[in-house]
Amino acid sequence: MIERTLVLIKPDGVMRGLVGEVIKRFEQRGLKIIGLKMIAIDKNFAAKHYTEDIEKRRGKTVRDNLLDYITEGPLVAMVVEGIDSIEVVRTMTGGTEPRTATPGTIRGDFTHHSFKYADNKNMPVKNIIHASSNAEDAEKEIMLWFSIEDLYSYKRTDQIFHYGE
């Protein structure tokens, strides 16, 4: 099934110069980038992304740290489209805790922090990237970050040659 998902290259990924590498990995996998922008957000906007539901599940300190983290500099937001893209992108990003992320994943190759370290330092886990966790979240997050006019439809050449489209 063709799906769309939101991906954020968080401020630490931007500051470390990993934007091109992350985009390259998705495109090499055959996924399409149908929306892309660099943006710096404020805490009001960040609170719409990291909703109070996170505070209920993980606590106020964790949410506050996430709000600080995502607003510490510009980030790159993109909408990725492809067959089962939500699952594919989540697999490519690796586990949320970088310490346990599999080598070969984005987090496994570029980060190593742990939840324990972050908790001891009262800071967020710097894990470079966000990917929508399921179809419902993807739809909500895409609508938050992009307007319909920001999203583009096109065919990749591999779609034309491989799928006869």
Catalytic positions? 130
Cα(163)–Cα(144) distance, integer angstroms: 32
Helix 19-28 vs helix 85-93: crossing angle, to nearest 10:
130
- What Rg do the C-alpha atoms of the chain give, in angstroms? 16
Residues in CB range of 31: below 8 A, 6 or more apart: 80, 81, 82, 85, 88, 89
